[in-house]
Structure 1
Amino acid sequence: MSKIEDIVDALEHKISKILDKQAILKQTNEKLESQLKAQQQKLLEQQEEISAWVEKHDTLKIANSMLGSDENKRETKLKINALIRDIDHCIGQLSE
């Protein structure tokens, strides 16, 4: 009988160790998931900030072209032409 009791005790001890490890792994997993969500949110905010800066940069290029800078005149003309086409399209839709 003593052998069976030893085996049961050993199994209980191993199960206890496994349950402890599982609890630790669960906590670690929750912590990592929290960190992942925080990093994803930070990345999203950075992407939005980059988009805003790109838009500001493009606006400044156009403004510089309008002020007489020769560097971006072609881009400015193309942008103005695109805006005029959009306006014409909107006017066309309104008149229908």
Structure 2
Amino acid sequence: MMEEKRNFNELENKVLDLLENYQNIKNEFSVLEEENARLKNKLRDSQVHNLSLLEEVKRLKVVNAMSGNQEYKKMMKLKMNKLIKEVDSCIAQIKTNS
């Protein structure tokens, strides 16, 4: 009888330990979920900021090219040629559809 009581007490202690571990893991999971959500928001904000900076860089390159900066002059010519080709392509499509 004493042996059974001791076994039962050991089992009860192990179950209590498991419950405590479960609660700890559950709390840690909640903290990690919150951190994950925070990091996702931070990443999204960084991506938006990065896109705005890339647009600013493009704009500055165009401004530099227009101001006569030799470094960007060739880039500007290539960009203008590309735009002209696109316009020519659109005009050709309009003519074939008419």
Q: Compute the TM-score of the two structures, normalised by the length of structure 1.
A: 0.88
| Distance (Å, rounded) in 1 between the aligned partners of 2:55 and 2:91 | 26
- Alignment partner of 2:71: what SS? coil
Q: Offset at 1:46?
A: 0.5
User: Where in structure 2 are the equivalents of 1:20-59 lying within 5 Å?
Assistant: 20-59=20-59
- Alignment partner of 1:8: what SS? helix
Give the % identical residues. 30
- The CA RMSD over aligned residues, in Å, is 1.4
Q: Compute the TM-score of the two structures, normalised by the length of structure 2.
A: 0.87
User: Where in structure 2 are the equivalents of 1:1-96 lying within 5 Å?
Assistant: 1-95=1-95, 96=97
Q: Offset at 1:58?
A: 1.3
Give the direction of change, closer, same or farther, for the CA distance of 1:18–1:59 in structure 2 (3 Å limit): same
| Distance (Å, rounded) in 1 between the aligned partners of 2:23 and 2:90 | 62
| Distance (Å, rounded) in 1 between the aligned partners of 2:19 and 2:94 | 70
| Distance (Å, rounded) in 2 between the aligned partners of 1:30 and 1:92 | 60
- Alignment partner of 2:44: what SS? helix
